[in-house]
Chain A
Amino acid sequence: QSALTQPRSVSGSPGQSVTISCSGTNSDIGAYNLVSWYQQHPGKAPKLLIYDVIMRPSGVPDRFSGSKSGNTASLTISGLQAEDEADFYCCSYAGLYTWVFGGGTKLTVL
């Protein structure tokens, strides 16, 4: 099972919006609306940001939003803040009770 494909890095200035893509196949992202996104600050455990493609857990700001089209999911962060700087990972259910993560994207807030 190959990792989902994410850009290695993205950047944006405070207040701007950035979008992180996550490309999979018709066996994972394309087959299920079960994409989740995680934020990971250095030395910390991942934290759930988005689940079921578009859903936000309580406590996650509405600046974070998710979407999906075909085999590609996206995470958009609007109104960038300095504390958003972190690594972001997508994850998809891949059938037969298996999961696959993306390669991770480093977000730099300029």
Chain B
Amino acid sequence: QVQLVQSGAEVRRPGASVKLSCEASGYSRNFNVIHWVRQAPGQRLEWMGWINVGNGNIQYSQNFRGRLTFTWDTPASTAHMELSGLTSEDSTVYYCAAEWDYYFGLWGRGTLVTVSS
């Protein structure tokens, strides 16, 4: 059974970058697209974009254009999300989620990013 295992909490200074990981562990991968979703404390879920781990296609939400980079490490079965130009508004929990035909059937546990000077 596939699980999405996310990396641990991070603390960054304003203006810095952060790179998070999401490993698809388990016997077999039953999805081709990983999405990233974030959630500020007590706030709504915010869709950030996706990467197709099969063909490398990527789409970013317009809200993050220019600051966001998704990659996929095939040998490690791990997706990475890098967000640059961090501000306090980026202090949220970041989730990766596997897409199964337009819905998110499998979620990681989330990674907390704190941006503070």
Residues of A within 8 A of B (CB): 1, 3, 32, 34, 36, 38, 44-48, 51-52, 57, 89, 91, 93, 97-104
Taken together as a complex, chains A and B put the C-alpha atoms of A3 and B47 apart, in Å, by 10
Please tell me if the beta carbons of A1 and B102 are within 8 angstroms of each other in the complex: no
**Interface residue B70 (Cβ < 8 Å from any Cβ of A):** no
Please tell me if the beta carbons of B59 and A98 are within 8 angstroms of each other in the complex: yes
Hey, what's the 0/1 contact readout for B75-117 against A, CB within 8 Å counting as 1? 0000000000000000000010100111111011110000000
List 6 other contacts, CB 8 Å, given A89-B45, A98-B59. A1-B62, A91-B45, A98-B61, A99-B35, A102-B44, A104-B43
Hey, what's the 0/1 contact readout for B56-70 against A, CB within 8 Å counting as 1? 000101100000000
Please tell me if the beta carbons of A51 and B103 are within 8 angstroms of each other in the complex: yes
**How large, as a class, is the contact surface on chain B?**
20 to 34
Taken together as a complex, chains A and B put the C-alpha atoms of A93 and B95 apart, in Å, by 18
Closest beta carbon of chain A to B106's beta carbon, Å: 8
What are the residues of chain B within 8 A of A38 when measuring CB–CB?
45, 104
Please tell me if the beta carbons of B44 and A52 are within 8 angstroms of each other in the complex: no
Q: A46-B45, A46-B95, A97-B59 are in contact. Are A52 and B108 (CB under 8 A)?
A: no
Please tell me if the beta carbons of B103 and A101 are within 8 angstroms of each other in the complex: no
Taken together as a complex, chains A and B put the C-alpha atoms of A26 and B107 apart, in Å, by 28
Taken together as a complex, chains A and B put the C-alpha atoms of A61 and B30 apart, in Å, by 23
What are the residues of chain B within 8 A of A51 when measuring CB–CB?
100-103, 105
**Interface residue B10 (Cβ < 8 Å from any Cβ of A):** no
What are the residues of chain A within 8 A of B107 when measuring CB–CB?
45-47
CB-based closest 4 A-B pairs:
A51-B103, A36-B103, A45-B107, A101-B45
Closest beta carbon of chain B to A29's beta carbon, Å: 13
Taken together as a complex, chains A and B put the C-alpha atoms of A14 and B59 apart, in Å, by 43
What are the residues of chain A within 8 A of B44 when measuring CB–CB?
3, 89, 101-104
The residue from A1, A3, A36, A103 contacting B104, defined by CB atoms under 8 A apart: A36
Please tell me if the beta carbons of A45 and B50 are within 8 angstroms of each other in the complex: no
Please tell me if the beta carbons of B105 and A48 are within 8 angstroms of each other in the complex: yes
**Interface residue B46 (Cβ < 8 Å from any Cβ of A):** yes
What are the residues of chain B within 8 A of A34 when measuring CB–CB?
102-103
